[in-house]
Amino acid sequence: MSASPDTFFRATGPAMPVLARLSCLIVQPVLNRVVRRIARQHPSLFARLGPHQGTDFVIDPVELPFALHLRPDPQALLFRAVPRDAAPEAGATIRGKFMLLLELIDSEEDGDAAFFSRDLEVTGDTEAVVRLRNALDDVDGSIAEETAEMFGPAGRAILARLRRAYPT
Amino acid sequence: MSLAELICPAGTPAALRTAVDAGADAVYCGFQDATNARNFPGLNFTPDELAASVVYAHERGAKVLLALNTYPPAGKVDLWRQAADTGARLGVDAFIVADMGVADYIARSHPGSRLHLSVQAAASSPEAIRYYCENFGVKRVVLPRILTIPEIREIRKEIPCEIETFIFGNHGLMVEGRCSLTNYLTGQSTNMDGVCSPASDVEYKRHEDGSMSSQLAGFTIDCFGSDEKAGYPTICKGRYTASHRPEGYYAFEEPISLNLSRLLPDLIDAGVHAFKIEGRQRSKSYVRGVVSTFRQAVDDIRAGRAANIADLVALTEGQKQTQGAFETKKWR
């Protein structure tokens, strides 16, 4: 019987550092494509970020073996997977379950409500987080679905499977 | 029966489109500056965005109300005048104002424009409301959230303008337009800069035991246990310790949201013309959920059906809701 995505992502123990680094290597090419496409499709995002285009955001999906490092500088976009023990010093950190973070990006969930319920945790520069949230919220459509579309039927299937694995 | 218009928040153009598509009769919004009371980072509209948004709303039969509901500091009125001129040029359907000088400027410079009196003016008596109507031609007052429904009914009989009341969202009962708590700690004014608890001064700290403290300008204003729901980092909703209350207590108000879904028929019967949903700082998800819920409720009531209203508590501050003073002055 193969491991479910859930058990895979929650793997812990001595193998974790290796798993984290391996996972980062696997997802990095995808992240590069995703962030470039989003920047191309939604250039107005950057204006709402204002002075925080150079801020280092660490987005921490708690069940995944790695975190995500975003620096939304339109001149030098950076979006990479990093093992937690190698994450950069963050200007702001956003922490929550993977599917919640995905739904916040797509405005399928409300960030304030997730904060009130304590499902979402924010530390560091609060203004940076507010700007990022407002910038993403002004995007029409679903960034998750746009991303899935980039990879055709396989991408759509993975997104559907993720949504089944992480019901909200 | 009054029209019971649904007045909905929009912090971004996408939120405005979401509100219109979800059934808003009117959407209220502001520019990216101190002229409105939600001057938050990354929020609000450029003039070009507002122009496109007005077209979008009007094509779908919805109105756009421009919030110019802060108070210009002495000698700095040009920003508010320019915002009013821009709004008039773009064809907004009304201006929501609090300051008499701003109201006077719009009444004189754009005499065809419709003026709504913001809740920030804190006009809660017939005499105060009539003053704004008689001197500036105000057509609607947004009432402070301190009145019972019988009081609203009595006020309605004595004023020559429409009434708008909040029905959902933030439940801030400080004397609106007069609160200086943020100014006291941060140097920025809710009423003149449009910022209540500016994000640049807010910091959340996570502790090893799972608790989280919220700080404003270095002052701890609450610490939520690992299982506790959280609220906004506003001083008025803070929980403080004192020598006589070492366990901590809410000195002003609790983190809680207004939800008048069950009182809508009574409000309509009392003569309320428009229902306002708070939350320009909230997401499209909030706007979609709350606006569509109240759209259905108002339509049901207009059609003589009992309104079946979805549970919105997950969207409320602290995940708690109240009918506040609308139900009773003893609500606390």
Q: Count how many pairs of residues, chain A against chain B, have C-beta atoms within 8 Å.
A: 100
Amino acid at B183: N
In a domain, A147, yes or no: no
Tens of pLDDT, residue by residue over B35-48, are 999 999 999 999 99
Q: What tokens appear for B323 in the block?
A: 């009918």
Domain count for chain A: 1
Range of the domain at A64: 5-140
Tens of pLDDT, residue by residue over A17-52, are 888 888 888 888 888 888 888 889 888 899 999 999
Across the interface, whether the CB atoms of B199 and A113 are under 8 A apart is answered no
Q: What is the SS3 assignment for B326?
A: helix
Q: What tokens appear for B99 in the block?
A: 């300051």
Chain B residue numbers with beta carbons less than 8 Å from the beta carbon of A113 are: 286, 314-316
For B230, the closest chain A residue by CA position comes to A116
The angle subtended at Cα B290 by Cα B288 and Cα B295, nearest 5°, is: 90
d(CA B260, CA B316) in angstroms, rounded, equals: 12
Measuring CA to CA, how many Å separate B179 from each of B151, B169, B192, B311? 23, 18, 11, 31
Where along chain B do its domains lie? 5-173+256-327, 181-250
Tens of pLDDT, residue by residue over B227-257, are 999 999 999 999 999 999 999 999 988 999 9
Chain A residue numbers with beta carbons less than 8 Å from the beta carbon of B315 are: 110, 112-113
Of B192, B262, B186, B191, the C-alpha closest to B219 is B186
d(CA B332, CA B198) in angstroms, rounded, equals: 27
For A111, the closest chain B residue by CA position comes to B283
Chain A residue numbers with beta carbons less than 8 Å from the beta carbon of B196 are: none
Of the listed ranges A7-11, A32-36, A140-144, B53-57, the one predicted with least confidence:
A7-11
d(CA B228, CA B319) in angstroms, rounded, equals: 10
The answer to whether the beta carbons of residues B10 and B280 sit under 8 Å apart is yes
- Cβ neighbours of residue B224 under 8 Å, at least 6 residues apart? A118, B211, B212, B213, B214, B230
pLDDT at position B208 over 50: yes
In a domain, A159, yes or no: no
Sign of CA dihedral B132, B133, B137, B139: positive
User: CATH no. for residue A23?
Assistant: 3.30.1050.10
Chain A residue numbers with beta carbons less than 8 Å from the beta carbon of B14 are: 107, 137-140
d(CA B24, CA B8) in angstroms, rounded, equals: 6
d(CA A76, CA B28) in angstroms, rounded, equals: 36
Tens of pLDDT, residue by residue over B65-99, are 999 999 999 999 999 999 999 999 999 999 999 99
For A117, the closest chain B residue by CA position comes to B229
Across the interface, whether the CB atoms of B229 and A118 are under 8 A apart is answered yes
Amino acid at B281: Q
Tens of pLDDT, residue by residue over A58-82, are 999 999 999 999 999 999 999 999 9
| Structure confidence at residue A6 as a pLDDT band (50, 70, 90) | very low
Which fold, B5-173+256-327? TIM Barrel (3.20.20)
Q: Who among A50, A123, A130 is closest to B206 (CB)? A: A123
**pLDDT reported for residue A4:** 43
Of the listed ranges A152-166, B118-132, B265-279, the one predicted with least confidence:
A152-166
Of A113, A95, A108, the C-alpha closest to A136 is A108
pLDDT at position B210 over 50: yes
Chain B residue numbers with beta carbons less than 8 Å from the beta carbon of A49 are: 42
Across the interface, whether the CB atoms of A113 and B315 are under 8 A apart is answered yes
Across the interface, whether the CB atoms of B202 and A126 are under 8 A apart is answered yes
